Amino acid sequence: MFSRLIPVFSPWLRNAGVAAVLGVVAMAPAAAQQRNPLQKVGETVLDQPPQSYRFERFVIESGEPARRWRVNVGVPVRKADAPAPVLYMLDGNAAAMVFDQTMLSDLAAHAAPVLVFIGYDNDLRIDSPARTLDYTAWVDTADDENGTSQSSGGGAKAFLDVIQQRIKPEVERRARVDTQQQSLWGHSLGGLFVLSTLYTQPTAFQQYVSASPSLWWSQGAPQGAMEQDFIAHPTPAKVWLMLGGDERSGNRGVRDMNNPRVVAHLRRIAGATPDAAHGLSGRLAEVPGLQVTYREFPGLGHGPMLPASLKATLAALYGVADKSAD
Residue 175, φ and ψ in degrees, nearest 5: -145, 150
Task: Say how many Å lie between the first and final Cα of the chain, rounded.
Answer: 43
Kind plus residue range of the DSSP H or E element containing 242: strand 237-244
Whether 295 is covered by a domain: the verdict is yes
Whether 323 is covered by a domain: the verdict is no
**What's the domain count of the chain?**
1
- Give the integer Cα–Cα distance in Å for 16 and 223: 40
Whether 91 is covered by a domain: the verdict is yes
Whether 303 is covered by a domain: the verdict is yes
Burial of residue 48 (CB within 10 Å: 0-12, 13-18, 19+) is: middle
pLDDT at 24: 31
Amino acid 208 reads Y
List the catalytic residue out of 210, 302, 309, 324.
Answer: 302
247: annotated active-site residue: yes
Asked if omega into 65 is within 30° of 0 (cis), the reply is: yes
**Structural domain range at position 169:** 3-318
Whether 12 is covered by a domain: the verdict is yes
Is there a contact between 116 and 86 (Cβ–Cβ < 8 Å)?
yes
- Give the integer Cα–Cα distance in Å for 187 and 306: 6
List the catalytic residue out of 52, 212, 218, 247.
Answer: 247
Burial of residue 301 (CB within 10 Å: 0-12, 13-18, 19+) is: middle
pLDDT at 17: 31
pLDDT at 27: 33
Nearest to 97 by CA among 245, 279, 311: 311
**Domain harbouring 28, CATH code:** 3.40.50.1820
Whether 325 is covered by a domain: the verdict is no
Q: Which residues pair with 291 in a beta bridge?
A: 238
DSSP string of 74-138, one letter each residue = EEESSPPSSPEEEEEESSHHHHHTT--HHHHHHHHHTT--EEEEEEESSSBS--HHHHHHHT-SS
Whether 92 is covered by a domain: the verdict is yes
Long-range contacts of the stretch 319-326 (C-beta < 8 A, 24+): 319/110, 319/111, 320/103, 320/106, 320/107, 320/110, 321/106, 323/103, 324/297
Whether 324 is covered by a domain: the verdict is no
DSSP string of 6-72, one letter each residue = EE---TTT-----SS-SSPPPPPTTGGGSS-TT-B--S-GGGSPPSSEEEEEEEEEETTTTEEEEEE
Nearest to 35 by CA among 308, 282, 311, 254: 254
Say how many residues make up the chain. 326
Contacts of 115 (CB under 8 A, 6+ apart): 53, 73, 74, 86, 87, 89, 99, 107
- Give the integer Cα–Cα distance in Å for 220 and 11: 40
- Give the integer Cα–Cα distance in Å for 225 and 123: 37
List the catalytic residue out of 52, 62, 152, 188.
Answer: 188
- Give the integer Cα–Cα distance in Å for 196 and 184: 12
Question: What is the full per-residue pLDDT of the chain (326 aa) written as tens digits?
Answer: 334 676 554 444 433 332 222 233 333 333 434 568 889 999 999 999 999 999 999 999 998 888 999 999 999 999 878 999 999 999 999 999 999 999 999 999 999 999 999 999 999 999 999 999 999 999 998 777 777 778 999 999 999 999 999 999 999 999 999 999 999 999 999 999 999 999 999 999 999 999 999 999 999 999 999 999 999 999 999 999 999 999 999 876 656 666 666 666 667 777 899 999 999 999 999 999 999 999 999 999 999 999 999 999 999 999 999 999 99
Helix (H, G, I), strand (E, B) or coil at 176: coil
pLDDT at 260: 63
